[in-house]
């Protein structure tokens, strides 16, 4: 089941949201093909959070899981390897039963480095290391600079998660 973005009447579609949805599909195809999707995956950008880079959550009825990136990352200045690392991290949460109908493999989402181990096992360890380095070296300055750009473009429409009553 491919990643899709909700219809326009529930989520303001942008070309960047579609690009993220297609990136999720490509990551899944290349690294997670052995795991079938148990529900619909909704992907895109969300609010420009101060600290969070990405998030996954599921609708109350379990029919969809939403994977979103921080709205500040919606910039040509952010390398694709960073987006891939964040999306892959959220997909690992999905396959381990967090914010998905799949059975939980661990009691806690980051127990014993399970996300890092899974990313390394699937050939995404270099992406995670690149993200760690970028988060230390670039993110603080980028975040401060990008925050001013996004303040004028504040998100007014509710995300698909709000409309769909997502589990927090």
| pLDDT > 50? residue 9 | no
Count the residues in the chain.
168
Long-range contacts of 128-136 (CB under 8 A, 24+ apart): 128/85, 128/88, 128/89, 130/79, 130/81, 130/82, 130/85, 131/53, 131/81, 131/82, 131/85, 131/86, 131/89, 134/79, 134/82, 135/53
Please report the pLDDT score of residue 153 as a whole number.
44
Predicted confidence band of residue 147 (pLDDT cuts 50, 70, 90): low
**Could you read off the pLDDT of 10-21 as tens digits, one per residue?**
354 677 888 898
Q: What is the token pair recorded at 11?
A: 């989520």
Q: Where are the domains of the chain?
A: 15-164
Topology of 15-164 in CATH? Answer: Zincin-like (3.30.2010)
How crowded is the C-beta side of 76, counted as CA atoms within 13 Å?
Answer: 0
Using alpha carbons only, what angle is made at residue 140 by residues 17 and 128, rounded to the nearest 5 degrees? Answer: 60
The percentage of the chain sitting over the pLDDT mark of 90, rounded to a whole number, equals: 48
Using alpha carbons only, what angle is made at residue 127 by residues 53 and 168, rounded to the nearest 5 degrees? Answer: 30
Q: What are phi and psi of 11, to 5 degrees?
A: -150, 130
pTM greater than 0.75 (yes/no): yes
Q: What is the token pair recorded at 68?
A: 């979103």
**Could you read off the pLDDT of 32-50 as tens digits, one per residue?**
999 999 998 988 888 888 7
């Amino acid at each position: 089941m491919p990643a899709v973005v909700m219809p326009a009447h529930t989520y303001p579609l942008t070309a960047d949201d579609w690009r993220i949805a297609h990136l999720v599909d490509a990551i899944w195809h290349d690294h997670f093909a052995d795991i079938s999707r148990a529900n619909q995956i909704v992907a895109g950008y969300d609010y420009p959070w101060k600290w969070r880079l990405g998030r996954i959550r599921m609708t109350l009825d379990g029919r969809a899981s939403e994977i979103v990136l921080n709205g500040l990352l919606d910039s040509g200045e952010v390398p694709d390897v960073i987006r891939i690392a964040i999306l892959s991290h959220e997909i690992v949460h999905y396959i381990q039963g967090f914010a998905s109908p799949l059975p939980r493999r661990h009691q806690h989402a980051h127990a014993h480095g399970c996300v890092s181990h899974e990313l390394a096992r699937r050939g995404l360890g270099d992406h995670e290391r690149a993200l760690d380095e970028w988060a230390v070296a670039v993110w603080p300055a980028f975040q401060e600079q990008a925050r001013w750009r996004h303040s004028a473009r504040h998100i007014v429409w509710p995300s698909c998660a709000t409309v769909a009553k997502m589990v927090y």
